[in-house]
Structure 1
Amino acid sequence: MPDLGAPPLLRCETLLVAAEQSTVALVTQLAHEQASIAEARATTETKWKDIALGQEHEITRLKDELRLLRVELRDAVQRNACTEEDLTTTARATAARNDELQALLATSHANNAVLMDQVRAQRESLEELQLRLRRHVEQETSDKHTITVLRDACDAERRAKDKLEALLVAMVQAANAPPSTHGFRTVLEVPSTSLLHAASKKPNVAPPPKPRLGVVETAPVTPTWK
Structure 2
Amino acid sequence: MAFYSEEEKTEDYLFKIVLIGDSAVGKSNLLARFARNEFYPNSKSTIGVEFQTQKMEINGKEIKAQIWDTAGQERFRAVTSAYYRGAVGALLVYDISRRQTFDSIGRWLNELHTHSDMNVVTILVGNKSDLKDAREVTTAEGKTLAEAEGLFFMETSALDSSNVTAAFQTVVKEIYNIILSRKVIISQELKHKDPSSLTNGKTVVLQGETIEDATAEVPKKAGCCSS
TM-score range, shorter chain: under 0.3
Rg larger in structure: 1
Structure number with higher strand proportion: 2
Structure number with higher helix proportion: 1
Normalised TM-score (structure 2): 0.19
Normalised TM-score (structure 1): 0.19
